[in-house]
């Protein structure tokens, strides 16, 4: 009874308390409307003041604006696109590993892995600042318009790392962190194109040197010329997602690497081609599937904005054109190989799909669906005959990197001038821009590879090549030694 009586008294006191008495559950300052009222002069001094804390007003929930929503969607989807492009490295590894001997599988996967790791670091330290000089903390220096400006202004404007910025949210506004991640993924792609063309005979140390050159210098400069608002962009050159800037640039480096190295032992006998089959065609097919999926980050992601009717229309058009071109390239290459070889060739169909994807990458935003089909189909024809041409020239490219990326990358740049609809777009502009980027990559990559060859660092010796780079370069097998020996076609 005593407890019930005490509880009742407490309740009566609380109910009888003045309405302005408040209780605080934290350390927040009282709101303006709950501030203490000045004590009147006639208040009896004998009555002690009761010290109480004011109740904190409930926190006002943040107001989510449409700009916040658009900013979140754009950056999230670009992040997903960047992940898809990075995932393409696994596709390249499977294609190149599957189309080469089992004794070189570790070496090939290792090269692809380091392309991403080393390429990302170099792009962070120097490449990003070269490619986008507008992000430089020193705006007084001119943009990098040519290699001469690069040499002269290197230390003046090269931005190290990612600009420290917190952009105001809005549609189409990208945070520098996600922008860097997306651009770094493209850099790694350009570097890894060469891996397959030089497989089976290049020293791992030489390949690392090449990766440093293309990731830190060759690709960032060519990318700046166009995407960094350099001189090629100023003349109206169009390359939406990189048929030329990425694929032809990497393909040109692949050609110079293959020429400098020379063919694998036994690849050509008395001037006649002697194919060396890959050890896992299923690996190669799975790799192309992965690359195709990754291309939906590569091409649609290059719109860089996903909110708003105009942006989403472009993104969906790009996605459909990408699919149509890849499909057309695969079908055309399959039928040509079927006609020429009397049997349908899976590897030709796979490279045909990649050829169509490369060809549409520059113009996927500015051509119709029917034109995308035609561009992809022509790319399927180009890749088939380019493979035969390399055989005639005794240039050993184990995976077809040069036909796919260089030849069809050039076709993509030129096809943009033929079919594309964009402001200031002309065929001659596309021809000049394509020639500039391809020529730049040929010259710098050629100097790199032939210099390494001249000092004896480029190619492994014959004994190492015959035994396989896995055991000689890395001291391990990708598979049990018995499997490697049984699958060795050299």
Does pLDDT of 161 surpass 80?
no
Q: What is the pLDDT of residues 170-180, one digit of tens each?
A: 888 889 999 99
Q: Are the beta carbons of 417 and 430 closer than 8 angstroms? A: yes
Q: What is the pLDDT of residues 59-106, one digit of tens each?
A: 676 777 888 899 999 999 999 999 999 999 999 999 999 999 999 999
pLDDT value of residue 58: 64
Q: Which domains does the chain have, with CATH numbers?
A: 76-474 (1.10.3430.10)
* Dist. CA 59–CA 181, nearest whole Å: 36
Burial of residue 358, with CB atoms counted within 10 A of its CB: 0-12 exposed, 13-18 middle, 19 or more buried:
buried
Does pLDDT of 50 surpass 90?
no
Question: Which helix (H) or strand (E) is 418 found in, with range?
Answer: helix 408-419
* Dist. CA 448–CA 68, nearest whole Å: 47
pLDDT confidence bin for 215, thresholds 50/70/90: very high
Q: What is the pLDDT of residues 283-334, one digit of tens each?
A: 999 999 999 999 999 999 999 999 999 999 999 999 999 999 999 999 999 9
* Dist. CA 364–CA 316, nearest whole Å: 10
| DSSP secondary structure, 103-165, as one string | GGHHHHHHHHHHHHHHHHHHIIIIIHHHH-GGG-S-TTSPP--SHHHHHHHHHHHPPPS----
* Dist. CA 102–CA 181, nearest whole Å: 33
pLDDT value of residue 488: 64
Query: Which residues are CB-neighbours of 35 under 8 A, at least 6 positions away?
Result: 54
Alpha helices in 162-218 (DSSP H): 176-197, 204-213
Pairing of strands 272-273, 268-269: antiparallel
Does pLDDT of 20 surpass 50?
no
């Amino acid at each position: 009874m005593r407890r019930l009586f005490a509880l009742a008294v407490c309740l009566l006191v609380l109910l009888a308390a003045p309405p302005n008495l408040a209780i605080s559950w934290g350390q927040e300052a009282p709101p303006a409307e709950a501030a203490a009222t000045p004590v009147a002069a006639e208040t009896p001094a004998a009555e002690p003041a009761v010290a109480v804390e004011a109740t904190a007003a409930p926190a006002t929930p943040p107001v989510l604006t449409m700009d916040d929503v658009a900013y979140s969607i754009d950056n999230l989807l670009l992040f997903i696109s960047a992940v898809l492009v990075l995932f393409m490295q696994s596709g390249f590894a499977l294609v190149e590993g599957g189309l080469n001997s089992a004794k070189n599988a570790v070496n090939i996967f290792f090269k692809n892995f380091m392309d991403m790791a080393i390429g990302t670091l170099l792009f962070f330290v120097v490449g990003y600042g070269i490619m986008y000089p507008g992000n430089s903390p020193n705006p007084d220096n001119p943009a990098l318009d040519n290699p001469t400006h690069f040499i002269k202004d290197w230390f003046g404007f090269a931005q190290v790392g990612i600009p420290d910025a917190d952009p105001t949210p809005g549609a189409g506004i990208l945070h520098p962190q996600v922008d860097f991640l997306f651009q770094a993924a493209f850099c790694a792609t350009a570097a890894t194109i060469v891996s397959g063309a030089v497989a089976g005979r290049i020293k791992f140390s030489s390949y690392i040197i090449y990766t440093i050159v293309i990731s830190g210098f060759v690709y960032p400069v060519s990318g700046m010329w166009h995407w960094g608002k350099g001189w090629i962009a100023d003349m109206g050159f169009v390359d939406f997602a990189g048929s030329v800037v990425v694929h032809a640039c990497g393909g040109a480096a692949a050609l110079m690497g293959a020429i400098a190295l020379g063919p694998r032992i036994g690849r050509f006998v008395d001037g006649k081609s002697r194919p060396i089959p890959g050890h896992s065609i299923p690996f190669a097919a799975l790799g192309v599937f992965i690359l195709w999926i990754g291309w939906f980050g590569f091409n649609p992601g290059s719109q860089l904005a996903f909110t708003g009717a105009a942006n989403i229309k472009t993104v969906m058009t790009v996605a459909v054109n990408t699919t149509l071109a890849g499909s057309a390239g695969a079908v055309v290459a399959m039928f040509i190989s079927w006609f020429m070889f009397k049997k349908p060739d899976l590897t030709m169909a796979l490279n045909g799909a990649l050829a169509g994807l490369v060809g549409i990458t520059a113009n996927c935003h500015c051509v119709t669906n029917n034109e995308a089909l035609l561009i992809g189909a022509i790319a399927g024809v180009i890749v088939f005959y380019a493979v035969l041409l390399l055989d005639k020239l005794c240039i050993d490219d184990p995976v077809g990197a040069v036909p796919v990326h260089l030849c069809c990358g050039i076709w993509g740049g030129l096809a943009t001038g033929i079919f594309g609809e964009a402001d200031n777009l002309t065929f001659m502009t596309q021809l000049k821009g394509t020639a500039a980027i391809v020529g730049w990559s040929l010259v710098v990559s050629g100097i790199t590879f032939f210099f390494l060859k001249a000092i004896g660092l480029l190619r492994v010796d014959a004994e190492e090549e015959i035994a396989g780079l896995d055991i000689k370069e890395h001291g391990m097998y990708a598979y049990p030694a018995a499997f490697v020996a049984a699958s060795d076609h050299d």
